Structure formats: C-alpha cells, structure tokens
Amino acid sequence: MAATGSEKQGATAYYVSTPIYYVNDAPHLGHAYTTVAGDVLSRWHRQRGEKVWYLTGTDEHGQKIMRTAEANNVTPQEWCDKLVEEAWKPLWEHLNIANDDFIRTTEKRHTDRVQEFVQDLYDKDEIYKGGYEGPYCVGCEEYKLPGDLIEAEDGTKLCAVHKKPVEILKEENYFFKLSEYGPKLLEFYANNPGFIQPESARNEVVNFVRQGLQDLSISRSTFDWGIPVPWDEKHVIYVWVDALLNYATAVGYGANQEKFDGTFPADVHLIGKDILRFHSVIWPAMLMAQGLPLPGRVVANGWLMVGGEKMSKSNLTGIKPQDLTSHFGVDAYRWYFLRAIAYGSDGSFSWEDFTARYTSELANDYGNLASRVAAMVGKYFGGALPEATAAGEAEKAVQEGLAKAVSTADRKIGEELDFQAGILAIFDFVKQVNGYITEQEPWKVAKDESPEGRARLATILYTAAESLRGVAVLLNAVMPETSQKLWESLGAEASLGALPDQLVQDAGNWGQLPAGATVTKGAVLFPRLEEKPA
C-alpha cells in the first residue's frame, strides 16, 4: 500500500497546493477563493513554526487554450504568457498570496519530467494503444460518461458543468490501465477515510469507483497544443495527465531528489469539487502505478454561487476580485469568503451580505475595539501600556477566553480546514473583550484618581491590549496587513519582534505585552464604507 502524506518518508515540509488554473481567461472570485484558503492554511502552519511549501500555478495546454488563442489571433504560448503575466500573477500579488512557487505547465522543468513519467508508465506496460469514440467537453477537457450529461429542450446533450453541447470525438489514443486500479483505490479509501473531504465528496468518489473504472485515454491526436508523447510525437499527452503531474514536477521530481523527498507528496490538495475525480481517482492511480506515495488529503471546496448559478466565465457570472477589494479592501476580502461560507459547501455571494458583515464584525466589533483601547491608553496613560496589578475574576475569564480561542482556531484552521469555525472562534473572543470593556466601564473608573482606581484602570486597559495582541497573532494568517497595523499600534513589534514569528499555539500565553510598551492610535483598521459603486 502506498504511503499517504501523513506517513511521509523523510519529508520535512508541510506541502499545500491549489489546482493549477486554466488560463483561457482572467481569474474570478472562484479561483481566488481556493487560493486565499491555501494561503491562510500555509501562513497558519508557518506560524506554527513549521517548514511550509505552498504551490499554485497555471495549466496552459489543451484544446480549450488552443481555441481561445486562435480566437484572439495569437499563438497559444503568446496567449498564456499574456494572461499569466498580466492577470494571474498580479492578482495573487494583489491578494497578498505568499506562495513559494508558481508552476507553469509550459515550463521545461515540467514538460521534460512529464514525458519521463509517461515514458516510465509505457515501459512498465501500464499504457497501451487503442481507439475511442464518445462525447467530449472541451471546457472540462474530458470524455463524458452518459451519466455526466444533461439534455437540452431540443434533445442536445450538454455537459452538466458548462451547460454547453458536447462534441463527439473519435480518435486513436494511448490508454492508461486505470480500470485495474479500482480495487486498490477502494482499499486505500477504506484504510484512509480522511483522504477525500468533505464526506459528501468522499461518498461520491467511492460510489463512482465501485461502479467500475474505464481505462483512461492519456493522449490526443486531433490537435497539437500539448506535450508530445515521447514515443509517438503524432500524439500529445492528455492535458489532465500533464496538469496533475505539476504537484510532483514543481518540487523536484526527476530533477532534485533531495527537495522531492523533503516535500512530496502534498499534505493537502485544495481543489474545486468539479475536478474531484481527477484528483482522487486518476492522480492516486497514476502515483500507485509509479510506486510513489499518495497525498495526505484531497479537500474539495464548494461552488461560489451568484443568482443560483456557479460562478464562472462560461456562465457570465465571473466577478473580478478587484471589483470587491477596491471597495472593501484586500484583508476584508480575504476574511469574508472564509468567514461567510463553510469550506466544502456551496455558498452564495452578495454585495449586501459582504457589506453587512464588514460593518458589523470588522468595523464595529474588531476595528472599533482596537481604536478604543489605543485611544484610552493614550488618554489615561500617555500611550505607555500600564501594568496590570489588580486582576480579578473578570480578567481571568478573558484570559481563559483567549486560551480557548487559540485552541479552537488552531484545531479548526490548522487541522480540520474549517476556516469558518476557526474565524468565528476568534471573533467570539473579540465580542467577549468588547463585553468586558462595556461591563468594566474604564471611562468611569478613570474618574477615580486614587491608587486603587488607577490600578484598576491600568488592569482593564492592559487586559484589553493583551487580548488584542493575541487576536493580532490569530488573525495574521487571514488578514496580514491589518494584523501588522494592530501589532505595531500595540507596540508589539518593538517589544516582541516580528508578527509572523509569533507562534499561534503560544498566542494564548498571557502577559506577553510588557508594561511600558508604546501604544499608538494608528489609522482606522476598517474604514467606513462609501456607497456601493455603480
């Protein structure tokens, strides 16, 4: 039995990947959703003190790319270069995505290794020559089974994903003996129940494999935009076989054995549920055939819906992330989709919901708390964080609240990939601190200028500031720019060091902010929203 990611042999990096995205058009919210989730997960594990490798990239071969390029009167390579450099990479930089690598499937480091991988399978008699005729969706780059199709009113067969007519293709191909791996896959799923998540996705895949697998066509001969089959250059390698191998080629497969052994396989493949079978059936079967270890988890997120339709360019519902970041800001954008939608489930986006959550949770609860605390430390103690000497049960409850938030968030985000529950745990603590300040009424306590009154006021404000120190650490993976502003406002940069170096598991250790730290009231973390742009 192949090893899973949790049983890595000598691997030292926590390896997270997104799908590599098809560059037939510019990225939309759906692409950014998965990429931000991967970035948050990667940043979280880095702040656990772990070595992390975060991979994303672009899928640049196949018939769909070729047709798009032709429609724009450029070569496929010119089209890919333009989209990658002018749309994809700039968006990830804009969204503060801290990926360690960006793989392009037209790069030589990838194409050479793909040919070697496929040649190895051919030499092992895992690939044979045959013919195939059937319905093909160019959008999916996939031959479709009858159950994958829907029927239009005029009887035309449509792809269930793209709602577009399929084409009947007949061609001579090379086939991978996928059908032989059904029993091995089912055994693997049974022994590794957490391999496919969520459970609904796992059940779908298990039922699909139980029905019996067909051998996989791994080449195309009707077009030439792809990696040539090494033993027969009249064929190009099927784009999905090409694409899936990026997870291996990007970390040194066949080129840098030390890096490969220290990274591969991925601990987590984050994908959209529409490409679930490729990653949970074809990809592990290919790895089994090559004797390579299997990933730790394949986690499928749901679809972002607009008006009841999956968000996509083909459905004309694609919304540019910049449309939202220009209004709400990048950090709020990163926060919103993971906060509003349970990862793994479909979720609907609306401008009104984003606005309501921004105003209530970010501006009023979190931003206002940070502003009030800094202002009171400035007003009552000249900006020097006072020492807490009069702590009681109320302060103990806040300390326990922070410890609980740390424990819950670390488990939910770092282990279970339940971003929504992890973020909610942090914001429940923010609400608790707001409640603490409301109950303690430091503005009234400030009127008591006795030593006891001053000590009590100092304790209240220290408790609030120390709470915010913990919140800044916990939210750094989700909202790095805002967290950095808060960190500096609390004087933590000067007294505790760089925010990314703070371990999330230690964020609940109370009393880290030293008395005397300089607290300043900086810019508002979450400014009041202007009217929705026309």
Out of 8, 31, 235, 279, the active site residue is 31
Phi and psi at residue 390, in whole multiples of 5°? Answer: -130, 45
Catalytic residue flag (residue 140): yes
Out of 82, 94, 259, 313, the active site residue is 313
Structure tokens at 14: 């926590």
Out of 310, 327, 412, 485, the active site residue is 310
Catalytic residue flag (residue 279): no
SS3 assignment for 253-284: CCCCHHHHHHHCCCCEEEEEHHHHHHHHHHHH
112: exposed, middle or buried (C-beta count within 10 Å: 0-12, 13-18, 19+)?
middle
Cα torsion at 446, 448, 449, 451 (round to 10°)? -110
Q: 336-340, long-range: CB within 8 Å, 24+ apart, which pairs?
A: 337/29, 337/33, 337/36, 337/304, 338/36, 338/37, 338/40, 338/419, 338/420, 338/423, 338/478, 339/419, 339/420, 339/423, 339/424, 339/427, 340/420
* Residue 155 DSSP SS3: coil
Phi and psi at residue 216, in whole multiples of 5°? Answer: -100, 125
Contact 286, 241 (CB under 8 A): yes
Out of 162, 163, 259, 320, the active site residue is 162
Handedness of CA 132, 285, 162, 156 (dihedral sign): positive
Q: Residue type at 503?
A: L
Contact 105, 61 (CB under 8 A): yes
Contact 176, 286 (CB under 8 A): yes
Q: Residue type at 83?
A: L
My answer on whether omega of the bond before 321 falls inside 30° of 0, hence cis, is: no
Out of 110, 140, 144, 235, the active site residue is 140
Q: Residue type at 125?
A: D
Out of 45, 144, 159, 279, the active site residue is 159
Catalytic residue flag (residue 137): yes
Out of 137, 144, 269, 273, the active site residue is 137
Q: Which residue has the tokens 């940070």?
A: 370
Beta bridge partners of 300: 271
Out of 28, 45, 64, 157, the active site residue is 28
Compute how many other C-beta atoms are within 10 angstroms of the C-beta atom of residue 27: 23
Beta bridge partners of 14: 52
Catalytic residue flag (residue 159): yes
Catalytic residue flag (residue 80): no
The number of residues making up the chain comes to: 534
The sheet carrying 232-237 orders its strands as 219-220, 232-237, 228-229
The set of catalytic residues is 28, 31, 137, 140, 159, 162, 310, 313
